[in-house]
Amino acid sequence: MLAGRLYTLAYRLDDLGEAEEARRYLELLESDQIDGFLADFSRFADEFNAGEKFEVQLVLKAVQVIPRIEAHFAGDRLDHVVDASLLRRAGRLLTDFMNTIMGYRDIAHLSAADLPTVLHGLVAGLLACPFSDEAFIDSADDPAAYRVELVSRLAYLPLFEGVDFVVDAGAPLPPVLIDRERFCDEVTGVLEDMAAAGAREIRLGLRREGDAVGLLIRSSGPLSPRRLRFYRRKFGLSGASLAIPGDGAGLLLLFEPVSS
């Protein structure tokens, strides 16, 4: 939970003598309220799905709660604390939800991309450490830079530590149409779910699927039907359609190739 991570960060900062910086995160982010807002809204949505609330009530609740959540994510408040991809996904989730209940039609912004290049870059970014010893040493004479470097280290969550990624591009493939940033963020979300479930190896295999280009993401554990429903809409907005492989294991994404 976000609040737990922020409280842990504040505790470590205080323990290292950075009491003012610790207070800044607790007071600025009001971390104890963020999860409360989310839990309250989630509870209301569950009641709505169970037929216990009218849609107008859900809309009013969303209008009340979402701006309060977005205010905590605004600007650079969570820089160096939470991965930028997670913040983008959180923002899109709120926006997509509001668009759905208000009846707005989402428009995908697609452009041509080489999937092997995109995936290799994505995996490299996930495995790269977000800070360096050199930058930490260089910040010794700059208190503000030192605090930034310190926070980056204390907040870092090495989720993919011990996970082996295998990207198999196979035969040459044509470029495909995707929303690159959204696609990378959503794939990152899937990989995070797999790693959190205990996967030690995750394979990303590219291949031709009839007239389409397919990406098979597979790990040691199955994905729940609930997660698959969640992924279907999110990947649809990135230019991919979701399918289930014949053996039911993993996630198969299909892309439209760019016409030559």
Nearest Cα neighbor of 256 from 115, 105, 107 is 115
- Map out the domains of the chain as residue ranges: 2-102, 111-128+158-255
Flag whether the pTM goes above 0.75.
no
**pLDDT score at 31:** 47
- Do residues 78 and 113 touch, judged by C-beta distance below 8 A? no
Selection from 14-28, 80-94, 199-213 with the highest mean pLDDT:
199-213
- 39 has pLDDT over 90: no
Burial code of 118-144, b = ≥16 C-beta within 10 A, e = fewer?
bbeebbeebeeeeeeeeebeebeeeee
**pLDDT score at 68:** 66
**pLDDT score at 123:** 94
Q: Which residue has the higher pLDDT, 258 or 53?
A: 258
Chain-centre distance of CA 213, in angstroms? 24
Percent of the chain, pLDDT > 90? 20
Question: What CATH architecture is 111-128+158-255?
Answer: 2-Layer Sandwich (3.30)
Q: What is the CA radius of gyration of the chain?
A: 21
**pLDDT score at 171:** 79
Q: Residue 112: in which H helix or E strand, if any?
A: strand 111-113
Other C-beta atoms closer than 10 Å to the C-beta of 189 total 19
Residues 140-191: tens digit of each pLDDT: 677 777 677 676 666 677 788 889 999 998 778 999 999 999 999 999 989 9
- Tell me, what DSSP letter sits at residue 251? E
Torsion of CA 17, 20, 23, 27, to 10 degrees: -170
Nearest Cα neighbor of 160 from 116, 123, 132, 131 is 123
**pLDDT score at 89:** 73
